[in-house]
Amino acid sequence: MNEREGHGESSEVVGNSAVPEPTEFPDRLGKVARRELAVHGYTRYDQLTAVTAKDLLQIHGVGPKAIRILEEELAIRGLGLLR
């Protein structure tokens, strides 16, 4: 797994399409949100501690429901989004 931090592209090019890395985010987050988070370099919960909800909401497919789910999952792990 790629150990990138932050907003860098985090995908492998296969043929003509980019395939994002697998993430540790739950299926209930939604396929588009998980894929787009990975494309933006977010594949692990610890990476989300350096970003605000406002920043994540700028990513296609990440809406208020996704933010709520991510915040719940982060809280379970003793983590949180940047305030």
Q: Where are the domains of the chain?
A: 11-76
- What sign does the dihedral 22-55-65-74 (CA atoms) show? positive
* pTM summary value: 0.77
Q: pLDDT per position in the chain (83 positions), as tens?
A: 444 444 444 445 544 456 677 899 999 999 999 999 999 999 999 999 999 999 999 999 999 999 999 999 999 999 999 99
Q: Which stretches within 6-83 are classed as H helix? A: 31-39, 53-56, 64-76
